Structure 1
Amino acid sequence: MNGFFGILNLNNGNFREVTTNYLNTKLLNRENTLLINDEILLQNFTTSTVKNDNYPNLYFAGWCRLDNIEELQIQFNLDSKAVEQEVILAAYKQWEADCVKHLIGDFSFAIWDVNKKNLFLAKDQMGIRPLFYTEQEGLLYFSTTIPAIKSALIQKPGLNEEYIAKELLNYPQKVEDCFFKDIKRLKPAHYLSIGAEGKLEEILYWELETVDLSHCKTNEDYYALLRTTLETAIQSRIRGKKNVGCQLSGGMDSSAITVLLSRIMDKNKLHTYSFILDETTKAYSDNGIDEQGTQEEIINYADLIRENHHPITSFHYKDVFEEFVKKNEIMGGYANSDCIWQDSLYKVAAEQNQVEVIFSGFPGDEGVSQNGNNYFYDYLNEFNIKGLFRFLIDFRRGAILKTIHYFRAKNKKNTTSDYSIIREKRNLLNPNSIFYKNLKDGLFAFNPSFKNWQKEQICTAHVCLRIESEGAYANQYGVETVYPLADIRLLEIMYSLPADLFKPKPYSRALFRNLAVGILPDKVRLQPKRSGAKTLAFADYWIHTKSEELKNYKIKNHTGLMISEEEYKNKEAENEFMKMKRYNTLKEIDYLIDLNI
């Protein structure tokens, strides 16, 4: 299991008692753990040492993969075998806090400067690697997992009632917040530098900005650049890996990644995984379909080893309560965007196939394979007459209707008119709660600019939270999750492209369909986005089964935040399936609250 943990004596806390208690209750590899006087405890979960002889005053703990490691090795005159730890320490010695501006990859790390008595905590630009921290009685606890922090605290962390209220309201969360009030998630593209004064202030070091693409003269130049960058992103994520896994949902994103992997590595070492329906689960699916047809197309097209394709038809939990306990063990409590539905896939990949790294097509929909439906927003926002004229010619009556919708949404500052009705039907929050009227829903907020909308979509909290959760479940088995479509080099190019490349004509998701020429067979490249199948093919069965197993569970409502079961049963619902799903959520939140009070 990758990751790290630490305790900093921030303000004359009871450091010795807390660290002694932690060390005595953990089965630790002492070579991985560093204790410096009454100042700091630093522990890597797997790495054999936190000290590098070349930098005697700096101590390091981290979970990192650098994609520009070769460039940095050359820049610092390091051996080509120098690993991430040494490269990051060299960068820190050269640039101190600005070192993160020179790093590309997935990383989360801590550096303790003995001479300056300074702790530096940093996280990658997209928040792929987790990092949490909290302050209690003069001590700063920090780790890549919430459970590690919980296990070390003298006092149980208090529940974050506002966070819970948002879940009951079905509102989006802030990226820094979690189930516990005083435990914070270090935001993506931020660092903390904590000196002797003990000030905790997160500093933003990167934002998605445009890059110079003036060397691209034609649309094909743009597509070629995107293809090359995507291939580089994939190649950098298999460096040093023997057995590689890839999720193959049947969608374009995962299909393209699978094909490219098959071209750059030994196919005998490549394993693919797909959620599919079986005879039991098919009966619970509205459409009774999955994407096995497309999966077969890719297996044949890429000439994959058929024995290395692994269908996943069910979860390995004996019941819903074992599932909830696992959530608490891995995520530390109730977590927005929890991805326990991936857990069984990672378990199979690790235990049966010895996979070290597994690829995902997420967050394609939020980035390079977005549908492009509002590509024209910048034309209206910037009053681009030439662009608006082309938009009118391409979409005619549709352009007029979309323009009317744009200005209506701009006036209302919201892109949808009826979601508030649906939201109220899903509402589980007690109307007497102080949060009932105070919390505001930020979902579907109108953004007048296509560029700003793109940034908002790819940098949304959900992207970070889902990736973090998938990584946590995979990490328990020693598997690393990777996301080439979240590579910042690829995203910066996407963000710099002319809006016209996203135009949904003659098909939606035009950018990705066009860059996938020569990567995907046309039957897959041009398939509709919505086939009626779900990524988790047996999601409906899962929800029905949970409902049955929770039938006799009585809600305790320790916080008083929830409506009563009777009130919920009497609420109008959009449909019976959604009512069942939200009722499951109500009981799940209640169960996890009960585990953590």
Structure 2
Amino acid sequence: MSGVAGIYYLDGRPVEEEVDRMVDVMEHRGPDGINTWRSEAVGLGHCMLETTPEDQHESLPLIDRGGALVATADARIDNRDDIIKTLGLQRPKGPPITDTELILAAYKQWGEDCPQHLLGAFVFAIWDEKNERLFLGRDQFGIKQLYFYHKNGRHFYFASEIKSLLSLSDVPEKIDELTLGIHLANGRPDGERTIFQNILRFPPGHALTATPCKVRRRQYWSLSATDVPSDLTDEEYAERFRNIFEEAVRCRLRSTRSVGSELSGGLDSSYVTCVAHRILRKSTDRNTLHTFSTVYDRFDECDERPYIQEVTKKEGIEPHYTIVEEQSIIDLLDEIYDYLDDGRVSGNHHLNWLTARQAGRSPVRVLLTGQDGDTTVHHGWQYFLELARGRKWEEFARLANQTIRVLQRDDGVVERQETWSEPEDILGDYGSVYLLRWAKKGNYLKLLSSLVEISKHFSVSPWLILQNMWREVVFPAYYWRKSRQSPSQPNVPKTIAPQFADDVGLKEYLSKRSSQSNEEPRHITARNAQARILKSSYLVSSFEKIAHYAAAAGVEARHPFMDKRLIEFCLGLPPQQSLSKGWSRAVMRRAMKGVVPEPIRQRTEKANLAAPFRYLLIDLGGGEIEQILRYDTGKMGNYVNQSYLSSLYKDAKEEKGSVSQDELHTFAKAISMLHWSRRR
């Protein structure tokens, strides 16, 4: 990943060497050059990582002819040919048109509407001297990072990394305590807030205009579905999906050097790898694809090498492996926090770090991923809710039986549905939602007719169902009001200091966000459940961390499943293209036929990484954790319940069964934050 930075003194002060400091602290993003430009109250900076052929002809910040426009960008524009044709930019001789030149040309043509004409991954800033304004834009899904700090009437700063903003003397390094608490409590993060007060994330799909009088931000794009015909055959849907996906991969293969691909052995990374391999094999110059996989020696049940090798045995693939158990999570956090400014690393993100690090030690500059494929190509379990809402119980039962047969085909179980062993389990998870709703509302006709139908297709007595909800049937008005007035209240984890939680109003915040996200069953469909995830701040935060890991390794991460065209197409599909004949993600499985090895295409299970996570954290990292818990953590110690953390660590170390996987992950978040604080 390249890097950008900039200063606009709204009060007219001249920019001096401070813009140089901003890029100097991001030197890992500029192995191919670091440059700055400044004029009076404006300064722009750029750190160059050359990844596309056009990058070799680019020198940023770019000064337009006449000097009225100056741009800096970290961008990969995928609809280059369309823009060149539309704007008449063909250049028969000489160097190719660079992506930043395309952005400037788009700005000249469409002004502040230019971002909506761009496809790809980008952040850019344009200084428009004539109109005395700074204009910024970020891509639709936030694949490229941008943060900013603004003080009315004084200054506006922006950069690809927070450390760049913190290098400025008037940007305070002050913790946003509510954001910290939300993270420690496993809450849903605010879309714009970072761990530092008043340093904000520039939101995806937005543009910003800064002038001496005001800073105005607007959303130029929102998530929507393509109008996909509803009467196509399964094969026709699969063909359309395949064509769009192959284009999403193809346009991400633009590279000056070898290309790499993450390969876990799952559906998503395998599909990306196989499609990239086929495209590269047709080229004459770059036909070797490097793959990067994290594997396990101690945990056979987690080792995906049999699936990985189904792909890597193809000619023209050079595999690279990293043994996960060689370093503790704490050791890996030490490496990560050398670059990452935000201490909110959690879950299995150390695997993303290992993959990026491995790629950085190879000849590649571009790393393809399968990230969030199961968001773009949704599993579609909520289709059961749609069938229940429509009281299509015969179809519900048929699909439930098909699903159980698929999941038990090889004794494999979809990870998030590990309690499903018979169709009645699916009925309990999805059908009962509406039965209970109708009981609470006193809608006895729908309830009783549904119970009669259910008894025809499931091995469950309607009387048993009524027995479990008799209170709602007898007192419907009371229980309906109660369910509306008293939504479930989230608990603040014991790992958080109670006084801190009270001071920042953490429980109230979590309750408010929980009530906002508790969508009424009548509103839930497979597609709007999918859209909710795509709009989630978790998604943006996750991709930002992956981008930081890639930048630290000197590579660029590219994500075919986050292609705008592909996402909009998938959002327009009928739900039966997600869940069909018991197979989730059906349209992609059909499209993969003949491209991905059959043992992978028909996978329904995922490796459970709970055991290695505990080993890496507790067994390998125990010594470091004990030091962290003994260390004087300063103010950060006021945020966590250190006595409880010590007790939880002791129980985990002694392998007491009372420590759940959720508790272990919450514990790891607190330890990670303490370690991050200790290093700063």
Counterpart of 1:60? 71
Within 5 Å, give how 1:215-364 maps onto structure 2: 217-266=232-281, 268-278=287-297, 282=298, 285=299, 288-300=301-313, 302-305=314-317, 308-314=318-324, 323-335=332-344, 339-351=349-361, 353-364=362-373
What do the CA deviations read for 1:372-421 (whole angstroms, capped 9, x no partner)?
Answer: 1112445566x5x7x7764455448757542322565897989xx99957
CA distance in 1, matches of 2:138, 2:483: 33
Query: What per-residue deviation string (whole Å, max 9, x for no partner) do you get for residues 406-444 of structure 1?
Result: 565897989xx99957x7466565454333432215467
Residue 512 of structure 1: aligned partner: 588
Question: Partner residue of 1:403?
Answer: 431
Q: Contact conserved, 1:132 with 1:142, CA < 8 A, in 2?
A: yes
Match of 2:677 among 582, 593, 596: 593
Larger gyration radius, structure 1 or structure 2: 2
- Alignment of 1:33 with 2:36, yes or no, is yes
In the TM superposition, what whole-angstrom CA distance separates every residue of 1:134-181 from its partner, at most 9, and x where no partner exists? Answer: 025812110111111111233432111011111221212122121101
Q: What is the Cα deviation at residue 189 of structure 1? A: 0.7
- Root mean square deviation, CA, Å: 3.3
User: Does the C-alpha gap of structure 1 residues 400 and 290 become closer, same or farther in structure 2, counting only changes over 3 Å?
Assistant: closer
Aligned equivalent of 2:380 = 372
3-state SS of the aligned residue for 2:302? coil
Structure with greater helix percent: 2
Distance 2:82 2:102 in 1: 10
- The alpha-carbon deviation at position 519 of structure 1 amounts to 1.9
- Residue 100 (structure 1) aligns with: 115
- 1:140 equivalent in structure 2: 156
Q: Could you tell me how far 1:9 is from its partner in structure 2?
A: 0.6
| Count of residue correspondences | 574
Partner Cα distance (1:187, 1:19) in 2: 23
Name the CA shift for 1:243/1:561 in 2 (closer, same or farther; >3 Å).
same
Give the letter for the 1:445 counterpart. Answer: N
Is 2:93 aligned against 1:78? no
Q: Higher mean Cα deviation, 566-575 or 434-443?
A: 566-575
Secondary structure (helix, strand or coil) at the match of 1:261 reads helix
Q: Partners of 2:259 and 2:24 in 1: how far apart? A: 37
**Counterparts in 2 of 1:216 and 1:55: CA distance versus 1, 3 Å:** farther
Q: Which amino acid aligns with 1:358?
A: L
Q: SS of the counterpart of 1:552?
A: helix
State TM-score, norm by structure 1.
0.86
Inter-partner Cα distance in structure 1 for 2:396 and 2:388:
10
Tell me how far apart the structure 2 counterparts of residues 59 and 264 of structure 1 sit (CA, whole Å). 36
The reply on whether 1:173 has 2:173 as its aligned counterpart is no
Query: So what's the TM-score if we normalise by structure 2?
Result: 0.76
Cα distance between partner residues in 1 of 2:641 and 2:483: 34
Distance in structure 1 (CA, Å) of the matches to 2:103 and 2:647: 58
Partner of 1:547: 622
Could you give the per-residue CA deviations for residues 204-261 of structure 1, whole angstroms, max 9, x where no partner exists?
1111212222396322111101000000000000123430111110101111111111
The structure-2 alpha-carbon separation of the partners of 1:89 and 1:502, relative to structure 1 and needing over 3 Å to count, comes to same
- 1:267-286 Cα shifts (integer Å, max 9, x gaps): 752101111112xxx1xx4x
- Report the CA distance shift for 1:20/1:378 in structure 2 as closer, same or farther (over 3 A): same
In structure 2, C-alpha distance between the alignment counterparts of 1:579 and 1:393, rounded to whole Å: 38
Give, in whole Å, the separation in 1 of the partners of 2:230 and 2:583: 27
* CA shift digits 1:11-70 (9 cap, x unpaired): 356854855876999989998211111x11101112523234446311110110111111
Residue 586 to residue 557, structure 1, CA distance change in 2 (3 Å): farther
Aligned identity (percent) is 24
- Contact in 2 for aligned 1:213/1:496 (Cα 8 Å): yes
Q: Which residue of 1 aligns with 2:635?
A: 558
Residue 291 of structure 1 aligns to which amino acid in structure 2?
A: E
- Per the alignment, do residues 355 and 25 of structure 1 end up closer, same or farther by CA in structure 2, a change over 3 Å counting? closer
SS class of match (2:7):
strand
How far apart are the structure 1 equivalents of 2:11 and 2:386?
50
Preserved CA contact (<8 Å) 2:14 2:42: no
After superposition, residues 127-166 of structure 1 pair within 5 angstroms as 127-136=142-151, 138-166=154-182
- Which secondary structure does the structure 2 equivalent of 1:515 belong to? helix
Q: 1:240 to 1:18 in 2, by over 3 A?
A: closer
Give 3-state SS (helix, strand or coil) of 1:551's partner. helix
